[in-house]
Structure 1
Amino acid sequence: MLDYDLDKHLNEQRSLVALRPQIEEIAALIHEGPYKNLYFVGAGGTYAAALPFERLFQTRSSFPARAVIGKEFILAPDPDFGADSVAVFGSESGTTPDILECIDFAKSKGALTIGVTGRAENPFAKAVDRVLLTEPGAWPIDVPYLTLSANLLHRRGEFDSYERLSTDLDALPEALTAVARAADPIGQAFAEKHTETDYHFLTGTGYLWGFTYLYSMCILEEMQWLKTTRVHGAEFFHGSLELLEKDTSVLLFLGEDETRPLMDRVENFVTSYSDDVTVIDTAGYDLPGVSRENRALLAPMIASAVMDRFSHHLAKVRDHSLDLRRYYRVVSY
């Protein structure tokens, strides 16, 4: 597979799963302590990737939990954010200025700060109260945030399938490799078809809305300098649909949670008005060793494994490295 290091992938994913004992200890601390709310604080992709976990709490728990954009949160924090709050951060590099500023802000309010990163020596790891260290380069959000959220809800009696989920996560590194293999030729075909396409329309709902937002902004826009529209499937029929034309490239992200009928409706409409519709359906990918019970929660990870193949093939056919930037961390702002 293009630009795919199997050993690196497995090491990174296994390092995320191996954090479970530490995460369960933190969940016990939150559950047994004075804490009354939780905030997933992010910037860009780390905010978008936290949205599924906000949703998990909102649909299953009475415990207040929010995903917030850190820089805005500093200027307009919740009145309830303080010494009995938990602030969770993730950073692959551990050097993102916005996130470091948010950690300082959270600590100034007395909140318990928890961070996931891959480098013990970075400023991020040194700033948080509790640091969870992954293999360098591992995406620090999905598995650790899901483990923390599910275990805390389990302790509260609001999530009954935690033990099954733990077994599923153990199988996930190898399962996602199988997903990547299956998706690679699809990603290659998409890239070859869209070498000259400069605009894409993306839609998703439920646990996949955060990934839809992330892929549009962080990959197609930031890493490929392509124009996009991203809209939640429930909002699709309230304005953005007017941008559709027969040759509009549309990417639809279909998950496996209760919001899927919203995307079925979008797909039925879009395929009538565009001849260039790509459906990424997580239900179409096998996850060896993973139960059906928790697939909805794992949909962002499935979609990420699929779209990683799209990204690398796009970068190749467009001769545009995924590491190339014009402004981000290049100029002052």
Structure 2
Amino acid sequence: MEIKDIIATIKKEKPNVKSVYYVGCGASQAELYPAKYFLEANAKALRIALYTANEFNYATPKGLNEDAIVVTCSLGGTTPETVAASKLAMEKGAAVIAITNNGESPLAKACHYLVVHNWEGSYSAKMDKMNKALLIAVEILNQYEGFETYDAMVNGCNSIYGIIDEAVKSVLPEAKAFADSYKDDEVIYVMSSGATHKVAYSFSICLLMEMQWMNSGSFHDGEFFHGPFEITDKNVPFILLMNDGRTRAMDSRALTFLERFDAKTTVIDAKDFGLGSLLPGVAEYFSPMVISAVLRIYAEQLAIVRNHPLTKRRYMWKLEY
């Protein structure tokens, strides 16, 4: 069933939806964030929230009932906490949409509606999960409240794959330079704002801490000047992800400060890939996808120079936890 048809079916059954909850763990939770950000920014009546799965399970919101839509997400569809959250939402009477790459997984069987995303084959395929989550949000908003920029958003969801494929063609030299420069750093800080905020978070906790065993921290660059900027100094390593959208002024303010004190700064800027001209008026909601794809190349090059494959683990999937 197409996403548009899924939401139309839910609306027939639940015309008075009041809440939309996004639930996942780690990277999958982060990849739901642009959808949550978009819907929260544009909905006038709907209540929106994003949960890590076990918090949703242990501290279940009172709004989880028959007037809720719950979107759960797991790449392989086997994350136990997310499967449990999906089952809980069904028990509470919510309409549950699961997003996964595995249509035969436990998560795929613990939902009312299934959206299977791509993953292998290209960098744009790896953004399919994030994009499908965003399209679900677009359809929820348009069908329940109406949305004047609906056509532009749908066009963006259809066009972003080609934009990503073009963007990644040009970044290998910069990615190699980044890897050579940052490979021996003891800690790397990552920050952004707007729809891209959780891209910084997921790169920090997943690509650096999980997959490279490198110490890292992430924060919203709107919060940079309310604590974290005190660690800024010459050669302290930062990655700054700059949006093409309304929160760019916060990104720019952070960059000015980092440059002022000669911090070791790598900038990945959505504007460098023509996003604003290709998707006028809605580029900010697609900045996370382009930046995530580019960051993937940076991570791959870091793994090469550190001789530490992105697949290497010492705890995850190897012991009981």
Fold similarity call, TM over 0.5: yes
Equivalent residue letter for 1:262: M
> Structure 1 275/133 Cα, relative in aligned 2: closer, same or farther at 3 Å?
closer
1:40 aligns with 2:22: yes
Equivalent residue letter for 1:39: Y
What's the CA shift for 1:265? Answer: 1.1
**1:23 — aligned with what?**
3
**1:322 — aligned with what?**
310
RCO (CA 8 Å, sep 6+): is it higher in 1 or 2? 1
CA contact (8 A) 1:175 1:289 kept: no
Equivalent residue letter for 1:47: Q
Partner of 2:226: helix, strand, or coil? Answer: coil
Distance across 1 between alignment mates of 2:287 and 2:276:
14
> Structure 1 101/159 Cα, relative in aligned 2: closer, same or farther at 3 Å?
same
Partner of 1:114: helix, strand, or coil? Answer: strand
**Which one of the candidate residues 197, 203, 206 is aligned to 2:191?**
203
CA contact (8 A) 2:238 2:263 kept: no
CA contact (8 A) 2:22 2:70 kept: yes
CA contact (8 A) 1:27 1:152 kept: yes
The 10-residue stretch of structure 1 (279-288 or 176-185) with the greater mean CA deviation from structure 2: 279-288
Distance across 2 between alignment mates of 1:210 and 1:275:
22
Partner of 2:191: helix, strand, or coil? Answer: strand
1:243 aligns with 2:231: yes
Distance across 2 between alignment mates of 1:326 and 1:31:
45
Spell out, residue by residue over 1:188-227, the C-alpha distance to the aligned partner (whole angstroms, 9 max, x if none).
1111122212311111111110111111111111111111
CA contact (8 A) 1:41 1:89 kept: yes
Distance across 2 between alignment mates of 1:289 and 1:208:
19
**Which one of the candidate residues 67, 71, 75 is aligned to 1:88?**
71
1:100 aligns with 2:83: yes
The 10-residue stretch of structure 1 (82-91 or 283-292) with the greater mean CA deviation from structure 2: 283-292
What does 1:6-85 align with in structure 2 at a 5 Å threshold? 22-32=2-12, 33-34=14-15, 35-61=17-43, 62-85=45-68
What's the CA shift for 1:51? Answer: 2.1
Equivalent residue letter for 1:48: A
Distance across 2 between alignment mates of 1:97 and 1:274:
44
What does 1:168-179 align with in structure 2 at a 5 Å threshold? 168-179=156-167
Q: Size of the alignment, in residue pairs? A: 313
CA contact (8 A) 1:206 1:259 kept: yes
What's the CA shift for 1:157? Answer: 4.5
Spell out, residue by residue over 1:44-76, the C-alpha distance to the aligned partner (whole angstroms, 9 max, x if none).
112222222222222211211211111011111
CA contact (8 A) 1:171 1:288 kept: no
Partner of 1:277: helix, strand, or coil? Answer: strand
CA contact (8 A) 1:172 1:287 kept: no
> Structure 1 256/288 Cα, relative in aligned 2: closer, same or farther at 3 Å?
closer
CA contact (8 A) 2:191 2:220 kept: yes
CA contact (8 A) 1:54 1:66 kept: yes
What's the CA shift for 1:136? Answer: 5.4
> Structure 1 130/312 Cα, relative in aligned 2: closer, same or farther at 3 Å?
same
What does 1:1-333 align with in structure 2 at a 5 Å threshold? 22-32=2-12, 33-34=14-15, 35-61=17-43, 62-135=45-118, 137=120, 139=126, 141-286=129-274, 290-333=278-321
Unaligned segments of structure 1, at least 5 residues: 1-20
Spell out, residue by residue over 1:275-308, the C-alpha distance to the aligned partner (whole angstroms, 9 max, x if none).
4111111011135993222211100001011101
Partner of 1:79: helix, strand, or coil? Answer: coil
The 10-residue stretch of structure 1 (272-281 or 303-312) with the greater mean CA deviation from structure 2: 272-281
Unaligned segments of structure 2, at least 5 residues: none
Structure 2 length-normalised TM: 0.92
